[in-house]
Amino acid sequence: MAISSRFKTDTVIREIVLKKEMKKFNYRRKDAAGIKLTSLMIAVAMLFTGAANAQQANTVEISDGRVFINGQPVAESSFPKTLDTSGMDATFWFSGDSKPVIEVKGRFYIVADNTLREATSEELDGPGVNVFLTSGDVHRAAISDAYGRELVALKEKARALNEYSAAPAVDNSEVAKLLADAQESANQVVVMASQLPRVDMQEYWRVVKDQNNELYTQFNHEWAMEVQAREMAARARSLGETEERAALINELRSTLEKIFVLKQENRNREIVQLQVQLEGLEKNMRDRTHYKDQIIERRLKDLLGQE
């Protein structure tokens, strides 16, 4: 329960921070040709509701040393010679424009062209990178650092755009260029920010898979239905007021009802799972209390270097 709450809190904090930064860029002005310069917030909102929602889901699975990308086996002949997946079992999820990098036995490999290749230091430090450690932990430094740099760059571009648009004589083409550049940066910030919450959940899903395979399967089903709903919504937004759009909206409503029921069932399963874990922790505490003297003596000998 605590993990899920922390995940939701982190997501809300990131959204608040992003909104605060975007607010600083809010401006509205008509230049000499009467072109209205609107807030970058509008561009960001469009990106959130448009391209981000239409992201394609992808999976990389390593099972008994074999690698599968989106369910398709990858030929070992396409791997770099350094890649050794023997004895490994792991699954990773990513979507959209993220650049997944998987650590395998101390080396980093990027998922590209339906195979794995060794990642360069530039790629590891690049924007939109998600680095997954096969130990189950998620390394967030690369994407967090890159996200910060992109946000600083976006601030600078918005400042320059504000200053230029306030000048007495305004070149329409230059304003359009600055605006396009700033919107591109805003796009990058939004994509990177949208990846952060998914990274946080990777470790939680690994733990669930280890402890309750049925719940893990249901999580996969829930996630797949969420992706399906986003894709349906993206298609509906692209259509005019047609019968096809109305039918698609009805189908989307039905899908959302199914997702709601599934989420309720999965949350109940989570509660049961957490209760089992809590009982295990309570038993461990009772055992430690019972063996208090032995634990202290063993720790004392360890600190003193005695066998």
DSSP states along 200-212: HHHHHHHHHHHH-
**Residues 17 and 122 grouped into a single domain:** yes
pLDDT digit string, tens, across residues 284-307? 888 888 989 998 998 898 888 876
- Model confidence at 135: pLDDT above 70: no
**Residues 87 and 226 grouped into a single domain:** no
The reply to whether 121 falls in a domain is: yes
The reply to whether 74 falls in a domain is: yes
Total count of domains within the chain: 2
**Residues 144 and 245 grouped into a single domain:** no
What average pLDDT does the segment 153-179 reach?
61
The reply to whether 56 falls in a domain is: yes
Domain holding 160, by residue range, is 2-200
**Residues 272 and 187 grouped into a single domain:** no
pLDDT for 31 equals: 37
Last residue of a domain, one of 200, 230, 260: 200
In angstroms, how far apart are the furthest CA atoms of the chain? 85
The reply to whether 248 falls in a domain is: yes
Of the two residues 36 and 15, the one the predictor is more confident about is 15
- Amino acid letter, residue 79: F
The reply to whether 295 falls in a domain is: no
**Chain centre to alpha carbon of residue 163:** 34
**Residues 86 and 122 grouped into a single domain:** yes
pLDDT for 77 equals: 86
User: Any long-range contacts for 244-249 (C-beta under 8 Å, 24+ apart)?
Assistant: none
pLDDT for 49 equals: 37
Say how many C-beta atoms besides its own lie within 10 A of residue 204's C-beta.
17
What average pLDDT does the segment 162-191 reach?
61
**Residues 66 and 11 grouped into a single domain:** yes
Last residue of a domain, one of 149, 174, 200: 200
pLDDT digit string, tens, across residues 178-206? 666 666 656 555 555 544 444 445 556 66
**Residues 151 and 242 grouped into a single domain:** no
Whole-model pTM: value is: 0.36
